[in-house]
Amino acid sequence: MKSRFQRSLALCAIVLTATTAMPPALAASKETIAISVGRLLEEGHYTRQKLNEEISRKFLLSYLELLDFSHLFFTQQDIDTLNAKYGNSIAGDVLLGTLKPAYDIYALYTKRVDGRVAKIKELLKQPIDFKSNATVELSRQKAPWPKDEAEADQLWRGRIANELLQEHLSEHPIEPAPQLVARRYDRLARNVHEQDKDEQIKLFLDALAQAYDPHSEYLSKADMKNFSINMGLSLVGIGAMLRSEDGYAKIESLVPGGPAQTDGRLKVGDRITAVAQGPADYVDVREMRLDKVVEMIRGKKGTRVRLLVIPADATDPSRRKNVELVRDEIKLKDQEARADIIIKKDENGDPVKLGWLKLPSFYADMDRHQKSTTRDVLALLKRLKKENIAGLIVDLRRNGGGSLEEALSLTGLFLKSGPIVQTKDYNGSIRISSDPDSGIAYSGPLVVLTSRQSASASEIFAAALQDYGRAVIVGDKNTFGKGTVQTILPIGRFASLLGSHSDEDGALKLTIQKFYRVAGGSTQLHGVASDIILPSLSDLPEFGEGALKNALPYDEVSKAKYTKWSDTHSLFIDQLKRRSEGRVKDDPEFHYVVEDIDRLRHKIDENRISLNEDGRKKELQDDKLRKEMRSKDRLARNQEEPRIYRLTLDTVDKPNLQLIMYPGKLAEAKKNGVSPKIDPEAAAPDADTDSIGGAPGDDTKEPTIDPERDETLNILADLVDLSRGPKTASTNR
């Protein structure tokens, strides 16, 4: 027989609509909320794991690391004492409503921060030698805690020396380094003391949820408010989602169509060090509470905010970039599907017309007017077919997912019929979701372009087309690897079983299912592997699901019954790969990418940075010279540019559309002294279409260099060539 909690979980959607007319009730106590979260995790999470000793140990570690991310404030002596006291029982305490461990551990953390900040202030008064050959760890997330206070003191000497040198070498100094660092740690101590019991419990229950998997979390009332702002689409006024990491506000994702994503300079993984309002001076935000940083970045539409950022690919954290953005509402049209028609020459010099479909997300009902990704893409496909494109690319880079229903129906536009994805519940029950429409909207040559940032619904789409043999998958080695489904459960609806409740109680984002491909494998951890891999700076395992703690494991289910698109050799993968490898080998832009990947990989693996000022200056100067040499090389090249037109939902039925990229535009930019814009994950350059013809677009825009885009177009042109007939297909070149 189902428990009362299980029945409530099953009826959650009904409860949410049936209780809207109920009078408001008092908020549950913190103890009741904790009990509700614990029981929901036990009975609602995909794993159905009990709050036992194993979860207790993960829970305690998660809480300690939420407090002390870099393993610097606590010592191993502290950790051993806390493990002995709470390691086997802290999860059980939650089910009893006992929150004393949360408060006691936080009190110890506060004490350690206060003591450390006092020592840092003394350290800042002492001279520091920047001529030695000493080094310091860049990231201590995986490092052990210092064994005792003496070892901690030594680690902190290196850390503070690095912070001082980092600020001293910065191209955008805010104030003298010692004063800046002292102010930073004063702020940290103040922030720690300002966390009230509600905020401490938020961290505590968040740690409990993350002990189950990285996508489950407790959402406080404030979190729910932010989550409800169109799922974060205008959360910080620039269209960026932030999270706190090692004292920085770190870019976790960029909202499609938002000011940050449109501008192109901010990247996932960038760390914000300072914020300025318009022309005002920068304010250092390191060690500032995330909500305070968000508040500084938010503002009225049309106002300007400046961000001082450490780039995600910086090998030296002294490197900064200054990004000025105009705050804006996220416009729905910027997030809609759009298409480009690209006319380029194939390897025989003959013109070929190709379609490029950019899909920022799998959206649905985004503006309360029954918006549908599938319906929008269908309209674009009709026009693309009318223009007689020879092949199509679907660009899913940066697409973090969205609606499952849209993923199913969109996949169906490219398949005749059959299963699309399998979903497994906690009890092993498997549901097969199929193409809802037996029709097919496009049957020509198809390539899907992905990256490590392609996740969830994007992975369902790409995996199905790969399993059916319908499309060639191109991009990073693998997509993100998120093969799980989450739901939002208001705690108040379940706390009511234990007493009074209200919306003040927050909610639990809970992982309840896993996705599987029709071929049987999971997208969890493994993601979708590309048939043809292109070098990319985003292609690092540190950016995927496998880098997250407590990620659910990979597994498989039985293969679903489905019929492949055609014979297994119809995509000519081997021939396409050989041709692509030859071009990539000779492409100077890919040479740059490979050099940067090697340099970044070495820095990540080495995980140390020099404290020698002269050495650091030389590295920064080398980086600057490298960029200058590359810019000169780009301007000196003579390369054939395609003719590109843009097709939007507003112009899909218009006979004449705007021409944006055309032969000679890059040469004009060079002549005018404009360096091409580098955007390794950009979609095809901005453009518009006619049947076919139009006036040139905004010539003030810098042409975009995107080697992945260019090579993916080459791959599609090859696929078109090889698909023309047995004679062409049998040619081995």
Catalytically annotated residues: 456, 467, 482
Distances (CA, A) of 711 to 466, 474, 612, 707: 19, 10, 41, 6
Report strand pairing: 419-424 vs 240-245.
unpaired
Nearby residues of 725 by Cβ (< 8 Å), 6 or more positions away: none
Question: In the block, which residue shows the tokens 């070149």?
Answer: 733
Find out whether 660 and 685 touch, Cβ atoms under 8 Å. yes
Tell me how far the alpha carbon of residue 137 is from its chain's centroid.
25
Using a 10 angstrom Cβ sphere, with 0-12 exposed, 13-18 middle and 19 or more buried, the burial of residue 186 is: middle
SS3 label, residue 296? helix
- Burial code (b: 16+ CB inside 10 Å, e: under 16) for 652-675 equals bebeebbbbbbeebbeebbeeebb
CA distance 222 to 518: 39
Q: With contact defined as beta carbons under 8 Å apart, do 648 and 360 qualify?
A: no
> How far separated are the first and last CA of the chain, in Å rounded?
65
What kind and span of H or E run contains 353? strand 351-358
At position 354, the amino acid (one-letter code) is L
Ordered alpha helix ranges (H), 387-420:
404-412
Q: Burial of 437 by CB count in 10 Å (0-12 exposed, 13-18 middle, 19+ buried)?
A: middle
Look-up: residue for tokens 């706190």? Answer: 244
Q: Where are the beta strands (DSSP E) in 221-328?
A: 240-245, 248-254, 271-277, 283-284, 304-310, 321-326
CA distances from 549 to 61, 87, 89, 209, 546 (A): 11, 18, 21, 12, 8
Q: What angle do CA 144, 148, 150 make, to 5 degrees?
A: 115
The kind and range of the H/E element at 178 are helix 177-194
Contact 71, 145 (CB under 8 A): yes
Nearest Cα residue to 467 out of 574, 561, 575, 356: 561
Q: Strand pairing partners for 471?
A: none
Specify the DSSP class assigned to residue 138: S
What are the structure tokens assigned to 684, written together? 């095809």
Report the alpha-carbon angle 130-135-141, nearest 5. 130
- Write the burial class of residue 573 (CB in 10 Å: 0-12 exposed, 13-18 middle, 19+ buried): middle
The answer to whether the Cα torsion of 435, 440, 442, 444 is positive or negative is: positive
Running DSSP on this structure, what letter comes out for residue 696?
Answer: B
State how far the Cα of 303 lies from the Cα of 65, in Å rounded to an integer. Answer: 37
Tell me whether strands 351-358 and 391-395 are parallel, antiparallel or unpaired: parallel
Burial tier of 500 (Cβ tally within 10 Å: 0-12, 13-18, 19+): middle
Q: Would you say 420 and 434 are in contact if contact means Cβ atoms under 8 Å apart?
A: yes
Centre a 10 Å sphere on the Cβ of residue 388 and count the other Cβ atoms it contains. Answer: 11
Which residue from 343, 369, 254 is spatially nearest to 307, judged by alpha carbons? 254
What tokens appear for 283 in the block?
A: 């304010």
With beta carbons less than 8 A apart as the criterion, state whether 251 and 272 touch.
yes
Q: Which residues lie below 8 Å from residue 566, measured CB to CB, with a gap of 6+?
A: 469
